[in-house]
Amino acid sequence: MHTPAELKYTEEHEWVKLEGKEALVGITDYAQGELGDIVFVELPAEGAAVKQGDVFGTIEAVKTVSDLYAPVTGKVIAVNKSLGEHPEHINKSPYQDGWMIRIAVDNPSEMEKLLNADGYQTHVGGH
Amino acid sequence: MSAATGTEKKTALYDKHVALGARMVPFAGYMMPLSYSGQIAEHNAVRNKVGIFDLSHMGEFMITGAGAIEAVDRLLTNRFVGSKPFQAVYSPMCLDNGGIVDDLIAYNLPDGIYVVVNASNIDKDARWIQEHLPAGVHLGNLSDHTSLIAIQGPATLEFLAPIMDQPIAHLHTYTSVRAQVAGIDALVSRTGYTGEDGYELYVANAHAPELWDRLIGVGQNIGLTPIGLAARDTLRFEMGYCLYGNDIDETTTPLEAGLLWTVKFDKGDFVGRSALWEQKDNVPRRMVGLRPDGERSIPRHGNPVRVGERQVGHVTSGTFAPSLGMGLGMGYVESGLSRPRTQVTIDVRGKDVPAAVTVLPFYTYGSRPGRRKA
């Protein structure tokens, strides 16, 4: 399992990368492995407001479905449209091509509530 | 997927799966490979070429003694008396009230009746069968000593025929033979759970790792792919095959589950016959296929099925179907609503998804010879 040290994580398996006042969001390598082959992902429209801890979308794997939780509060300013045609990018490249949304962050201090890489690895049982 | 408790058994091939990089998960008391290279790729390998499965979690019994054939026949809804040597019969085994104890395959072998049952039901089935055997008929539980390797896919014969000690192409579906596969003794059965041509190989645990290695070795040239339980589930689902514990259980009858063809009312008495006879002309609900109108909704196990506000059934299996490229469901609806093209609504996580009742199987292009399992 790959857990980049420079990212922050939610207990629900999203990663977030803070770039200035913007946050890039996806799901972790651990999560994609647990879900198996991903076939659809439902994401919010650009301009939608998301709130830390609330559901912002769903992800459908062959076998199971899972909610996506916003790691920070803000406004969605970009959505990875390539996932419509290529949801497998989430399996193959969870931290790069598989990114989901970009959020204009309201309050960067919310990042402090998230897990760091070590904390996340402990959370998922040190896989 | 539930967490492992640490008490799960390992099949004789456990180390092979780990070496192949499989994701191992607890299933029915065993640690089993969920997937190796990815479940859609594995699914497609079986549809298009050939795959190899470890199904050693399945249970095997040998029932012997004078009158064993009649005793087994009495436990099954399908006809076992009159089966030919080495013939296999697929059948539900029912409670007195018609609920399904298990679905199984019984082989009429010269040394006894070989019964293959679902892993999750091994102990329950052994007890149930033993309770119903007359004096002089004995059940031996071979489950802990027997491995089962399945080879499934349109290229199965191309792969297996050259490494058999005798021809197998002539075997009808649901017949078997004792033969050597790559030099190893096995019961070789033309059966499967995928909709494709294929054979299932029952071998002693002691020989299973060697057989697996030889099959993987020979198979490299032909593109033999190891297949996990995840792809096994989508393959059987596309064929509308019932999975015990999901689609059928002790609260469902074979008539409800679309298994009327396995219920032989004219064969004489059997456990569950009177209850099923009573239900036969008034089956309250039926197993159907459910096809969402939109391509992006995937029904899931347990989703309610409605007409207007009224619940008329529920989804028992639902998944993305790789060969059809969309989410589909199977489940029970009231009999009056079981006609193809009947419009219903599936409640998929609180979202009303319009869907049409369809016939099973969903996938009709498989390489499996013959149309039916018996």
Average pLDDT over residues B161-172: 97
Q: Which of B163, B273, B155, B147 is nearest to B214 (CA)?
A: B163
- pLDDT tier for residue B373 given thresholds of 50, 70 and 90: very low
Provide the percentage of residues in chain A whose pLDDT is more than 70.
Answer: 98
Q: Can you read off the two tokens belonging to residue B129?
A: 């069968």
- pLDDT tier for residue B5 given thresholds of 50, 70 and 90: confident
Q: Can you read off the two tokens belonging to residue A122?
A: 């402990």
Measured distance CA(B315)–CA(B320) in Å, rounded: 14
Return the pLDDT at B26.
96
Average pLDDT over residues B39-53: 98
What is the least distance, in Å, from the CA of A106 to any CA of chain B?
Answer: 30
Query: Could you tell me the pTM of the whole model?
Result: 0.94
Q: Can you read off the two tokens belonging to residue B56?
A: 């050693």
B230·A42 Cβ contact <8 A: no
What are the chain A neighbours of B298 within 8 Å (beta carbons)?
Answer: 39-40, 60, 65
**Is the backbone peptide bond immediately before B361 cis, with ω within 30 degrees of 0?**
yes
Measured distance CA(B152)–CA(B14) in Å, rounded: 20
Contact B28, B120 (CB under 8 A): yes
Strand order in the sheet with B51-54: B176-181, B184-189, B198-204, B146-152, B51-54, B225-226
B320·A61 Cβ contact <8 A: yes
pLDDT digits (tens, 9 = 90+) for B175-200: 999 999 999 999 999 999 999 999 99
Indicate the average pLDDT of chain B: 96
Interface of A with B (CB under 8 A): 33-34, 36-37, 39-40, 42, 58, 60-65, 91
Which chain B residue has the Cα nearest residue A125? B3
Domain spanning A8-115 has what CATH number? 2.40.50.100
pLDDT digits (tens, 9 = 90+) for A64-92: 999 999 999 999 999 999 999 999 999 99
Measured distance CA(B315)–CA(B305) in Å, rounded: 7
Contact B64, B137 (CB under 8 A): yes
**pLDDT above 90 (res A96):** yes
**pLDDT above 60 (res B1):** no
Indicate the average pLDDT of chain A: 95
Return the pLDDT at B324.
96
- pLDDT tier for residue B145 given thresholds of 50, 70 and 90: very high
Question: Which of A29, A38, A39 is most worth mutating to test chain B (most B CB atoms within 10 A of its CB)?
Answer: A39
| Residue A67: how many other CB atoms lie within 10 Å | 13
What is the least distance, in Å, from the CA of A47 to any CA of chain B?
Answer: 23
The SS3 assignment for B276 reads: helix
Average pLDDT over residues A13-39: 96
Provide the percentage of residues in chain B whose pLDDT is more than 70.
Answer: 98
**pLDDT above 80 (res A42):** yes
Return the pLDDT at A126.
62
| B135 Cβ contact list (under 8 Å, min separation 6) | none
Buried-state track B260-284, b at ≥16 Cβ within 10 A, e below 16: bebbbeebeebbbbebbeebeeebe
Return the pLDDT at B2.
60
Provide the percentage of residues in chain B whose pLDDT is more than 90.
Answer: 94
Average pLDDT over residues B84-110: 98
- pLDDT tier for residue B374 given thresholds of 50, 70 and 90: very low
Average pLDDT over residues A99-117: 96
Which chain B residue has the Cα nearest residue A35? B1
DSSP structural state of residue A44: P
Buried-state track B297-327, b at ≥16 Cβ within 10 A, e below 16: bbbbbebebbbeeeebbbbbbbbbbbbeebb
Return the pLDDT at B254.
98
pLDDT digits (tens, 9 = 90+) for B102-135: 999 999 999 999 999 999 999 999 999 999 999 9
A60·B233 Cβ contact <8 A: no
What are the chain A neighbours of B322 within 8 Å (beta carbons)?
Answer: 62
- pLDDT tier for residue A125 given thresholds of 50, 70 and 90: confident
Buried-state track A32-52, b at ≥16 Cβ within 10 A, e below 16: bebbbbbbbbebbeeebebeb
Measured distance CA(B345)–CA(A34) in Å, rounded: 30
Contact B224, B38 (CB under 8 A): no
Average pLDDT over residues B31-44: 97
Return the pLDDT at A127.
52
**pLDDT above 50 (res A99):** yes
What is the least distance, in Å, from the CA of B287 to any CA of chain A?
Answer: 20
pLDDT digits (tens, 9 = 90+) for B276-320: 999 999 999 999 999 999 878 999 999 999 999 999 999 999 999
State the sign of the Cα–Cα–Cα–Cα dihedral B128, B129, B135, B140. Answer: negative
Residue B4 exposure: Cα atoms within 13 Å on the Cβ side: 14
Which residue among B39, B230, B298 sits closest to A65, beta carbon to beta carbon?
A: B298
Contact B156, B199 (CB under 8 A): yes
Return the pLDDT at B3.
72
Return the pLDDT at B372.
45
Amino acid at B49: K
| B12 Cβ contact list (under 8 Å, min separation 6) | B56, B147, B205, B206, B208, B209
